[in-house]
């Protein structure tokens, strides 16, 4: 029977450590600050931002919300980011995606100062990650949270065969870099890969970040594999499901992250953890 990788449990541990750091900083008169910018009325984005704000307040992090209508001008958004860049009370800036079509998302990302880019999407931070530089810089929160999960479950990545399904800038590419930096043997497969499932069936660890339900099934993994399901999809009944369809009673998968309760809680916990780390770095 497959064993669940409990993201909620590990996230709780990460949050406890983050709260302890916040309390230590408070003794020095310092409060970490996280600014989140939300554009438009996308309900999924609104829910996600609300969860972030709630967790920040719970941990003692100063949460700064900036909300704009969908027709906000790119110039207004850029000016807001520049103002937050210059605000010493703000340690991390996050612009919730997706943005309306008339706004250049890459331009927005590059406007955020690298040292305040809590999402780790700025080209300078991406470059630091791929070069595996020995310095302090933010990393994309979902992949960083996945690495924490694997560490907590004592997964030895040194030399392991790892397959990443998907090549987005949010998960796939930073995940590739983190796995390479951990000395794993990594393959990234995507929509142009031929015989994609031949790769997943040979992997010790599979990270699926496609956003397509039933993309992979029980037979697409080798027995005992670790499967990290990043998918956040709604099925025909409106239920949240991942990319992987499996039977927990009969599956030969070794370990898997459930959806919900796997990667999702780790992403938010890592966002809070990284905000506090960036506050410490700024001191």
Rounded Cα distance between 162 and 171, Å, is 14
Active-site residue, 46 included: no
pLDDT of residue 44: 85
CATH class, range 141-264: alpha beta
List the chain residues with pLDDT less than 50: none
Q: Does domain 29-114 have CATH number 1.10.10.10?
A: no
Characterize the bridge pairing of strands 161-165 and 240-241.
unpaired
Write down the domain spans for the chain: 29-114, 141-264
Predicted TM-score (pTM) of the model is 0.97
Q: Which of 96, 232, 273, 274 is catalytic?
A: 96
* SS3 label, residue 249: coil
CA distance 115 to 138: 8
Q: Which residue has the tokens 């984005």?
A: 45
Q: Choose among 134, 218, 145, 216: nearest CA to 175.
A: 145
Q: What is the pLDDT of residue 91?
A: 98
**Paired tokens of 196:** 């994609």
pLDDT digits (tens, 9 = 90+) for 161-212: 999 999 999 999 999 999 999 999 999 999 999 999 999 999 999 999 999 9
Residues near 149 by beta carbon (within 8 Å), at least 6 away in sequence: 5, 7, 10, 228, 257, 262, 263, 266
Q: Reduce the secondary structure of 27-70 to three states and give it as a string.
A: HCCCCCEEEEEEECCCHHHHHHHHHHHHHHHHHCCEEEEEEECC
| Residue in the structure block whose two tokens are 């951990």 | 182
First to last CA, the chain: 48
Q: Which of 21, 52, 55, 173 is catalytic?
A: 52
In the prediction, which pLDDT does 238 show?
A: 86
Q: Active-site residue 9, yes or no?
A: no
The active-site residue, picked from 21, 55, 117, 119, is: 119
As given in the structure block, the two tokens for residue 149 are 């999960």
119 belongs to the catalytic site? yes
């Amino acid at each position: 029977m497959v064993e669940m990788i409990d993201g909620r449990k590990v996230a709780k541990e990460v949050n406890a450590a983050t709260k302890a750091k916040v309390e230590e900083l408070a003794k020095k008169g310092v409060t970490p600050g996280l600014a989140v910018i939300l554009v438009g009325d996308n309900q999924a984005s609104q829910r996600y931002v609300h969860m972030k704000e709630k967790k920040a307040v719970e941990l003692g992090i100063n949460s700064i919300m900036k909300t704009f209508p969908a027709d906000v001008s790119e110039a207004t958004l850029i000016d807001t980011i520049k103002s937050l860049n210059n605000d010493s009370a703000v340690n991390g800036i996050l612009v919730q995606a997706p943005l309306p079509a008339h706004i250049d998302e890459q331009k927005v990302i590059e406007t955020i100062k690298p040292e305040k880019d809590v999402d780790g999407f700025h080209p300078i931070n991406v470059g630091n990650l791929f070069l595996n530089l020995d310095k302090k810089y933010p990393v994309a929160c979902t992949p960083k949270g996945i690495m924490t999960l694997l560490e907590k479950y004592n997964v030895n990545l040194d030399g392991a065969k790892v397959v990443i399904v998907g090549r987005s800038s949010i998960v796939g590419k930073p995940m590739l870099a983190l796995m390479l930096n951990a000395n794993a043997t990594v393959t990234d497969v995507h929509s142009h890969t031929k015989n994609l499932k031949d790769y997943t069936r040979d992997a010790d660890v599979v990270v699926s970040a496609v956003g397509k339900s039933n993309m992979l099934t029980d037979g697409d993994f080798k027995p005992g594999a670790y499967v990290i399901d990043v998918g956040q999809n709604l099925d025909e009944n409106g239920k949240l499901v991942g990319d992987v369809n499996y039977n927990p009673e009969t599956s030969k998968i070794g370990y898997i992250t459930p959806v919900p309760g796997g990667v999702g809680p780790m992403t938010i916990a890592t966002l809070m953890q990284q905000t506090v780390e960036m506050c410490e770095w700024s001191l």
